[in-house]
Structure 1
Amino acid sequence: MLSMLVQSEATEVCDWVEGLLRILDVRGRVDARINQLAPCTARVPAAGNGMLPYHAVLSGSIIVSDSCSRDQIVLGEGDMVLFPHGTPHQIRSLVNEHSMADSSITTASVACFPNSKVDLLSGRFILPAAQDSIVRRCMPHRIFITASTHLSSASPGRSDVARLVELLCAEADHGEVGKQPLVDAYSKALFTLAMRYGTRNDATPLGLLALAAVPRLVPALNALVSEPGTPWTLPMLASRCNMSRATFIRRFRTTVGRSANELLVDLRMGLAARRIMASADSLSAIAESVGYRSEAAFNRAFKGHTGFTPSAWRRATDAPWTM
């Protein structure tokens, strides 16, 4: 019995992806199934708060470019790109690229041409507006998940991504009753895989994914994300990583681009936003659960972070996703 209790306590701190999904209320929408994208360019405008566009290639190849990067990336079968900041971007087919014509992509349609050799799913992950700051401050402007980063002899990652994309396509094309709950569930699973495999890119930029790619810093990441309400101190986090306080501070900021305390505040506000909407708990109880002894201090932090007071956010029951 004692060994079981010890084991339970040891596994109480979950991994960072699991912890992040307890904070973020991820839903999804399928914008377009493009299976006739012959020579063309599809321009995607900037997405609104809480909107994270993505594109997943089922077959063929596309070129992806965006307003924040000079490079253009080629995505092939099994690859996926995600834009956490909603950055304007464009996708181009690789079929007879020299004869491309321009077109545009909207939330529900895309201009395309016949005789295509590309099969592409375009969609978006959707977060409540009050949680948007987490992805914009803690994630890069784009995340690539390429088949080569998670192929193995059994290819579990590739088959997982492909299976989810195919399920999303099936719901978008032939969904019946319960369609949106299934799209939300598949989207959350796809977002989870994007977080898991996004750390395996050699060019992972600053942010959560870069932090997750540094084994010595992962204990601190797991602690912050799984238990944001704990009054973490720099010595406590440094101890988990077997580092001195000074070394931890330097390596954390170099890797993430922000301090551990700044990341902790982001996570606390994201979790508070979810609990305010999902529970009837008092604001003082929620404030305490995310590490604030003073409700007034919590109110100031929440409004400064999200633009809403906690009470205003709770009243927004009709449209929490679009405020």
Structure 2
Amino acid sequence: MDGISRLLRMARLEATLDKRCRLAGSTRMEVDPEGARDIPFHVLLEGECTLEVGGELYPMKAGDVAVIPSGGVHRILTAGTGAVHGTVERRGTSLAFTSSAEGGSPVMDLFCGHYNVGAGAGAILFGSLPTPTLASVFDSEDGRAALTRLAELMRSEAEHDTEGSAAIMSALCTVLIALVLRTSGTAGGRARLWTANPDDQLGGVIRRILAEPGEDWSIIALSRQLAMSRATFIRRFSAGTGMTYGVFLTRARLMTAADLLVSSDSTISTIAARVGYQSESAFSRAFRTAVGETPARFRRQQRQLSTDSS
């Protein structure tokens, strides 16, 4: 299994498409915060708009996808003359349809939804992404072709909005986040995502660690394998991923550990060794720092949730 597919499987991600927005003129749409582990996203299929997060403005063009890992209130703005208007919404079978309160011809076509992620690997994965994460899917020929096909299906289901549409659109939104995570360039000149590192050498290191997190991945061993100095490896890794090598290695190991705690009956000490920790106590400290719970409590909570939902 490839690295991104493995990450999404471990994240236990559920995708929901909430609404289609066709805004006109000068409009401001407020987006309220979701739940604790709900990650809002927006995909702009046509036109232009501006995303406002934390007081910062981020222009978006057709083919751009915005993911807001931190959640929270944010806004979608469209430019136009005259006063700024709000939005009106009508409810369909499986999603809402939002338009400018003053009407007019739409200047953009935007789909909005959210991802609900698991408390372990999912929270760690999305916590490693910048807020906002802005990906220009149209910047590559393959990305343009994929998003064009995806857009056709999303629009078709939105127009029909009938039995089964919610399930189909959920699957399409899962495809969308896979496209984002493998997009090597991001919108507005922002840093590349570590999940799509274009450096062949570092990308190979990332894939190998995700596949076998328990191996000896010391900087000295890796730098020798790549025929570069330790300092060069550290510098290139940080520049290419936006995090230190140590932070990445810890996250990779703990994502796998969280997955194993839920999906296997292995003891905590066995899991700790499998993901590269020399002692159960060191693993438990690192896990609690990342997830907020000890491995044992996390396992009990996740199993209880699984029992309650079955």
Q: Which ranges in structure 2 are unaligned for 5 or more consecutive residues?
A: 90-94
How big is the alpha-carbon RMSD for the aligned residues of Structure 1 and Structure 2? 3.2
| C-alpha contact 2:17 2:166 (8 A) present in aligned 1 | no
TM-score norm. by structure 2 comes to 0.80
2:270 corresponds to which letter in structure 1? A
SS at match of 1:267: helix
SS at match of 2:183: helix
2:109 corresponds to which letter in structure 1? D
Which range moved further: 228-237 or 156-165? Answer: 156-165
Structure 1 residue 228, shift from structure 2 partner: 1.8
Corresponding residue of 2:100: 112
Counterpart pick for 1:271 among 241, 245, 256: 256
TM-score norm. by structure 1 comes to 0.77
Counterpart pick for 1:192 among 171, 175, 178: 178
Measured at CA, do residues 53 and 116 of structure 1 come closer, stay the same or move farther in structure 2, by a change above 3 Å? Answer: farther
| C-alpha contact 2:11 2:123 (8 A) present in aligned 1 | no
Structure 1 residue 314, shift from structure 2 partner: 2.0
Q: Which ranges in structure 1 are unaligned for 5 or more consecutive residues?
A: 1-13
2:190 corresponds to which letter in structure 1? T
Is 1:143 matched up with 2:133?
A: yes
Is 1:134 matched up with 2:125?
A: yes
Measured at CA, do residues 57 and 250 of structure 1 come closer, stay the same or move farther in structure 2, by a change above 3 Å? Answer: closer
Q: Aligned equivalents of 1:252 and 1:82: distance in 2?
A: 24
Which is strand-richer, 1 or 2? 2
| C-alpha contact 2:257 2:272 (8 A) present in aligned 1 | yes
| C-alpha contact 1:28 1:125 (8 A) present in aligned 2 | yes
Structure 1 residue 237, shift from structure 2 partner: 2.1
Corresponding residue of 1:100: 84
Is 1:161 matched up with 2:147?
A: yes
Correspondence 1:215-234 to 2 at 5 A: 215-234=200-219
| C-alpha contact 1:30 1:168 (8 A) present in aligned 2 | no
Correspondence 1:286-305 to 2 at 5 A: 286-305=271-290
Corresponding residue of 1:310: 295
Q: Count the aligned residue pairs.
A: 296
Measured at CA, do residues 198 and 176 of structure 1 come closer, stay the same or move farther in structure 2, by a change above 3 Å? Answer: farther
| C-alpha contact 1:34 1:122 (8 A) present in aligned 2 | yes
SS at match of 1:304: helix
Is 1:125 matched up with 2:110?
A: no
Structure 1 residue 297, shift from structure 2 partner: 2.6
Measured at CA, do residues 142 and 240 of structure 1 come closer, stay the same or move farther in structure 2, by a change above 3 Å? Answer: farther
SS at match of 2:182: helix
Correspondence 1:231-242 to 2 at 5 A: 231-242=216-227
2:124 corresponds to which letter in structure 1? S
Q: Aligned equivalents of 1:207 and 1:146: distance in 2?
A: 12
Measured at CA, do residues 235 and 122 of structure 1 come closer, stay the same or move farther in structure 2, by a change above 3 Å? Answer: same
Structure 1 residue 149, shift from structure 2 partner: 0.9
1:119-165 per-residue CA deviation (whole Å, 9 max, x = no partner) reads 211011221122313322x22212323354113xxxx4223123334
SS at match of 1:228: coil
SS at match of 1:186: helix
1:71-109 per-residue CA deviation (whole Å, 9 max, x = no partner) reads 431323x33222233254211124x3543213599xx75
Q: Aligned equivalents of 1:57 and 1:229: distance in 2?
A: 40
Overall identity of the aligned pairs, in %: 26
Q: Aligned equivalents of 2:193 and 2:182: distance in 1?
A: 14
| C-alpha contact 1:198 1:204 (8 A) present in aligned 2 | no
